[in-house]
Structures are given as structure tokens and as C-alpha cells.
Amino acid sequence: MSNSKYRPGQQKYTAVHKKLAKRNVQVGSLTCPVCEWCAESTEHVFTGCSLAVEVWAAVGQWCRLSPVLAFGVKELLEIFKEAAGSKWGKNIIHGIIMVSCWCIWLARNEKIFQDKVISGRVVMANIKRLSVFWLNHRSKYKELSWDSWIKYPLYVM
């Protein structure tokens, strides 16, 4: 492979595919189904892909965080540490980050299995809807205002 064609994550992904192919498991394309530009890897799907970049910019703006520039999933899961407010403020941001990863993953799967293109805007709407559902059912915050939530999720702090 020439250096000019190397893309991050490609080698690891190819190794996994080679092992699966040896066992006669259909592996499909190596290219990311969402952006169709880069080799797909965990890091790419959640941080480098155009959809992920758009979603993290919107999540950062919504949660009033400094710009989200993560190069790995571990970094993403540590963003909550900079969140404003109490322990609950950090918990809410942590939950939103996890819900965001889940929604990015679902959008990727919809593209693969149903050939549906899910925009960053739709992913953000899903993140807001699912995260408020999670918070209503898993915290002391039971009566959240939807109008306030979609403007700023830490309005309750």
C-alpha cells in the first residue's frame, strides 16, 4: 500500500476482514457506508466520519461545550468532565454523549441495511428525543420541559 492511499484505521479493519473472509464470512465493502470516502473503523464511525463530525459540532453547541474535537472513542467518553454544573450536570452530558454514539451507530446501520441516508439534523433530533427519555426514566428529573431541553439540556442545573 502506498503512503498516499493510507487512511487511518484501514489496516486494523482489513486484518479483521481477512480473518472473517478466511472463515467464509461475507464481509462486504471496506469503505465507510456513510461517507463512502474512508475505510470504516470504530474510530472513523464515531469521530472521523462526516456524519460524526457534524453531530459532535451540534452536540457541542447544544450543550455549550468547547468545540468537540475527539480523535478516539475514549476521548469522547471523557468530554463530560468539562461540563458545567454539579455531578448531575456531568452525568447528563455523559449520557448525551453515549446516546449520541448510539444514534450515530443506528444511522450507520440504517444506511447499510435499509440504504437510508440519515442526515446529521435527523440524528440530532433523535439524540434530543432519546436523551430526554433516558433522563426522565433514569434520574430525579421527571418533569423536564421539552422546549427548554432542546435549547439547553443543563437548564435544570
Contacts of 82 (CB under 8 A, 6+ apart): 65, 66
- Does residue 123 touch Zn ion according to CB under 5 A? no
User: Which is closer to Zn ion, CB of 24 or CB of 114?
Assistant: 114
Q: Smallest gap, in angstroms, from Cβ of residue 68 to Zn ion? A: 17
User: Which is closer to Zn ion, CB of 39 or CB of 135?
Assistant: 39
Site for Zn ion in 43-72 (CB under 5 A): 49
Q: Smallest gap, in angstroms, from Cβ of residue 34 to Zn ion? A: 4
Q: Smallest gap, in angstroms, from Cβ of residue 109 to Zn ion? A: 13
Q: Which stretch binds Zn ion (CB under 5 A): 30-38, 108-116, 122-130, 140-148?
A: 30-38
Q: Which of 30, 35, 57, 130 touches Zn ion (CB under 5 A)?
A: 35
Q: Which stretch binds Zn ion (CB under 5 A): 31-39, 56-64, 68-76, 131-139?
A: 31-39
**Spatial contact of 97 and 63, defined as CB atoms under 8 Å apart:** no
The single-letter code of the amino acid at 18 is: K
Q: Which of 10, 13, 34, 58 touches Zn ion (CB under 5 A)?
A: 34
User: Which is closer to Zn ion, CB of 30 or CB of 98?
Assistant: 30
- Does residue 32 touch Zn ion according to CB under 5 A? yes
Site for Zn ion in 83-102 (CB under 5 A): none
The single-letter code of the amino acid at 40 is: E
HEC string for the chain: CCHHHCCCCHHHHHHHHHHHHHCCCCCCCCECCCCCCCECCHHHHHHHCHHHHHHHHHHHHHCCCCCCCCCCHHHHCCHHHHCCCCHHHHHHHHHHHHHHHHHHHHHHHHHHHHCCCCCHHHHHHHHHHHHHHHHHHHCCCCCCCHHHHHHCCCCCC
**Where does this chain bind Zn ion (CB under 5 A)?**
32, 34-35, 49
